[in-house]
Amino acid sequence: MVPRRSGQETQIELRERWGSTWSSEACSWALAAIAGRLEAGNSESGARQVAEAAAILMRGALAIQRNTHVNVVGLVPFRRERDRAHATLERLLGPQCFRECFDKGAAIPAAEVLHFALTTHIVEGDTLRQREECYANATWSTLTQRQQEIADLVSQGLTNQQVAGRVHTSRGGVEQQLTIICRTQGVTDRTALTAWIKRVHADTSELANTGATGPGERSPSR
């Protein structure tokens, strides 16, 4: 989101009509993609909030295009992105809510649409990007031995209290370690953590079967 918004800010300052008009809609496409990834990461409430903003922004951008006679979807890649974003938003919000948000965007003045495109949900986009970067670079060896043990027990379905009993610590201590684990590995909850651990163990087993070793990796503790 940062490069696209910074480019749009320059276009607005230069009063470059075509660029600022299409990039406003492009921001709605980016927000739709963020909403979809938030949903995939089990953050449904966050996904819905971002999706509502994206629908409002998309309609506002379309109104600007109509008034300025800038035809974005004359270009096939742009039309494809619009269709993809539209489908994502309608799926996340449902047809009725999507239409309500869409109609709100039609009533927003052009200057407010441009400002909305520059400012809405920047934090969510940046946070998601950072989390995805953490997840992409996450390795088992970045966890301490105690964190590995806790993560494994959680992935087996144990509650925090049960994990605390197994590792001889308090429930609060387990919760603190889980917060650190989720943050460093770029996961949002126990379900995502379990999926990540299963992937790590599967990768480790595959490497063991081939006789190879991953860079900086060791077999997960059991």
81 has pLDDT over 70? yes
Whether 117 and 169 share a structural domain: no
pLDDT tier at 185, thresholds 50, 70, 90: confident
User: How far from the centroid of its chain's Cα atoms is residue 2's Cα?
Assistant: 14
pLDDT (0 to 100) of residue 133? 60
CA distance to 140, 146, 149, per residue, from 154 (Å): 15, 12, 9
In the prediction, which pLDDT does 212 show? 47
Lowest mean pLDDT among 3-17, 37-51, 98-112, 175-189: 3-17
Same domain assignment for residues 121 and 142: no
Res 48: pLDDT:
87
- 12 in a domain, yes or no? yes
Range of the domain at 151: 138-210
- Encoding tokens for residue 185? 């590995």
Asked if residue 217 is part of any domain, the answer here is: no
In a domain, 221, yes or no: no
* Residue that is last in its domain, among 113, 132, 151: 132
Q: How many domains does the chain have?
A: 2
Does residue 222 lie in a domain region?
Answer: no
As a residue count, the chain comes to 222
Query: In terms of domains, do 180 and 121 share one?
Result: no
165 located within any domain: yes
Based on the fold, state whether residues 100 and 6 are members of the same structural domain.
Answer: yes
Q: Please report whether residue 216 resides in a domain.
A: no
Structure tokens of 57?
């922004």
Q: Does residue 103 lie within any of the structural domains?
A: yes
- Pair 105, 142 in one domain: no
Q: In terms of domains, do 37 and 123 share one?
A: yes
Domain boundary among 116, 132, 148: 132
Mean pLDDT along residues 73-83: 85
CATH number of the domain where residue 205 is located? 1.10.10.10
